[in-house]
Amino acid sequence: MAKHETPLLDQLESGPWPSFVSDLKRQAEKKPECWDILGILELSYKDRITHWKHGGIVGVFGYGGGIVGRYADVPKLFPGVEHFHTIRVAQPSSKYYSTANLRQLMDLWEKHGSGMTNFHGSTGDIILLGTRTENLEPFFWDLTHDMGQDLGGSGSNLRTPANCVGQSRCEWSCYDTEEVCYHLTMHYQDEIHRPAFPYKFKFKFSGCPNDCVAAIARSDVSVIGTWRDNIRIDQAAVKEYVAGNYPPNGGAHSGRDWGKFDLQKEVIDLCPTECMWMEGDELKIDDKECTRCMHCINVMPRALRPGADQGASVCVGAKAPILDGAQFSTLIVPFMKVSKDNEFEELIEFIEGIWDWWMEVGKNRERVGETMQRVGLPTFLQVMGIDPIPQHVKEPRSNPYVFWKEEEVEGGFERDIVEFRAKHAA
């Protein structure tokens, strides 16, 4: 595999941001197939269309997913990427690594693949980018035998779950996002590796409503940490903020002069429910009115902390636009304890309640959010055995097209027109 002229891509080597082109070229010195990655990409830059053939079904025995097959449409020009399959490798919670682990994985990939990766795919997996079909089983053998690691998910199954950094390095995380992500990933290995669903299904775990893993936008079951008691206030620290001794928002705005910190303007007046006020030099919060948006805590991390009675809100149904439009997850369980003490029993029961129903009624390639739209939220709640509460809606419906079941209405639906006519002539 020879070096190709890449006049267009060469222009992406200048500038301050790290250049993927320079990195590819450096790798090509050791792995010549990288010249062909550059070559086929240069051709796409010239033709302004992709040069990968449609689809590609490859994998390893025992699994129905984990590898995305890909073939070049110009294999003669670029034999190094004739096969260019991607392997998804399951990543550790929060994406912490030891260098020993990463070096071993990189050695394996140098041996079996192109030498290029994505750290990480959007769902969370380590992406090993580009190898031939005949390398898949040997790589998988080494990955499982030498490293004790496994593939991630692809296809109509449970995809690789992911979480925010959680309690390992954040003071706001209201449950152990790492542990629940790991635990559920292990618990549902079969659902990850062997597609059994109408379509894909994702879990994401965020420790608080800042939602650093974007659970509400990018997962079918979105578990977002919260609390149900009072925000913990350190009044002495509040005074330090007012005095200008602590930087607001942890110093996040220090690159610009926004003036002296103004507690009234920056916190109290921005609270979405207007439930905060100063009483003398004490900050007060009417916690019954607080919707736990995190703003005041974000601005004063040294003075305010989430409450101590912690758990999570569970929302369901986020998806991208195809087919019926993009959806965020919708609130189903306002507060759930998420605890390892009972092996996350409540959450598991909830998830399996959704699956039992959706696997039965979900249409081919219908995300659960679309199934919920099709049958309606009331039906979904009934299926899940959940009583309706005002928290389930942003607002009550405004149209009057309300369904009633026959048993809900006195006398039922069976009526006699003759009886009706006796009182009301035509």
Q: Which of residues 331-370 bind other proteins (CB under 8 A)?
A: 364-365
**Amino acid residing at 282:** E
Q: Which of 1, 3, 132, 182 binds other proteins (CB under 8 A)?
A: 182
Considering only 1, 12, 233, 278, the residue that binds other proteins (CB under 8 A) is 12
- ω into residue 263 within 30 of 0, thus cis? no
Stretch that binds other proteins, among 12-20, 340-348, 402-410, 413-421 (CB under 8 A): 12-20
Cβ–Cβ < 8 Å for 181, 347? no
Taking the complex as a whole, the smallest distance from the CB of residue 334 to other proteins amounts, in Å, to 13
Report if residue 308 touches other proteins, rule: CB under 8 A: no
Residue indicated by tokens 């090509």:
28
Q: 302: which residues sit within 8 A by CB, 6+ positions away? A: 234, 237, 240, 241, 246
Whether 113 and 156 have beta carbons less than 8 Å apart is answered as no
Q: By CB under 8 A, which span of 56-64, 343-351, 407-415, 417-425 interacts with other proteins?
A: 56-64
CA distance 384 to 424: 44
Residue 204 near residue 162, CB atoms below 8 Å: yes
Q: Which residues in the 219-278 window bind other proteins by CB under 8 A? A: 247, 249-256, 258, 266, 270, 272
Binding test (CB under 8 A) with other proteins, winner from 2, 54, 396, 409: 54
User: Could you give the angle at which helices 177-187 and 345-361 cross, rounded to 10 degrees?
Assistant: 50
Q: Which of 141, 352, 391, 420 binds other proteins (CB under 8 A)?
A: 141
Piece in contact with other proteins (CB under 8 A), picked from 45-53, 278-286, 398-406, 416-424? 45-53
> What would the two tokens of residue 184 be?
């559920």
Stretch that binds other proteins, among 108-116, 342-350, 380-388, 400-408 (CB under 8 A): 108-116
Q: Which two tokens stand for residue 121?
A: 């795919």
In the complex, least distance from residue 379 CB atom to other proteins, rounded to whole angstroms: 20
| Of 110-118, 275-283, 380-388, 399-407: span binding other proteins (CB under 8 A) | 110-118
From residue 369 to residue 398, the character string flagging contacts with other proteins as x (rule: CB under 8 A) and all else as - is ------------------------------
Q: Residue for token digits 């190709």?
A: 4
Q: Is 404 left (phi over 0), alpha (psi -120 to 50) or beta?
A: beta
By CB under 8 A, what part of segment 145-164 binds other proteins? Answer: 145, 147-150, 160, 162, 164
How many residues touch other proteins under the rule CB under 8 A: the total is 137
Site for other proteins in 13-42 (CB under 8 A): 14-21, 23-24, 26-27, 30-31, 34, 37, 41
Both structure tokens of 251: 């110093």
Could you tell me which stretch among 292-300, 344-352, 353-361, 413-421 binds other proteins (CB under 8 A)? 292-300
Minimum distance of other proteins from residue 319's CB (angstroms): 9
- Residue pair 336/312 in contact (Cβ under 8 Å)? The answer is yes
Q: Residue 322 or 389: which CB sits closer to other proteins?
A: 322
Which span (314-322, 334-342, 374-382, 400-408) binds other proteins, by CB under 8 A? 314-322
Residue 33: which residues within 8 A CB-CB, separation 6 or more? Answer: 1, 80, 81, 114, 115, 130
Which amino acid is it at 286?
D
| Strands annotated E in 124-243 | 126-129, 162-163, 203-206, 221-227, 232-233
Q: How far is the CB of 397 from other proteins (least distance, A)?
A: 13
State the minimum distance, in angstroms, from the CB of residue 406 to other proteins: 31
Q: Are 147 and 107 in contact (CB under 8 A)?
A: no
Selected from 4, 9, 83, 225, the binder of other proteins by CB under 8 A is 9
Residues 6+ apart with CB under 8 A from 278: 263, 264, 268, 284
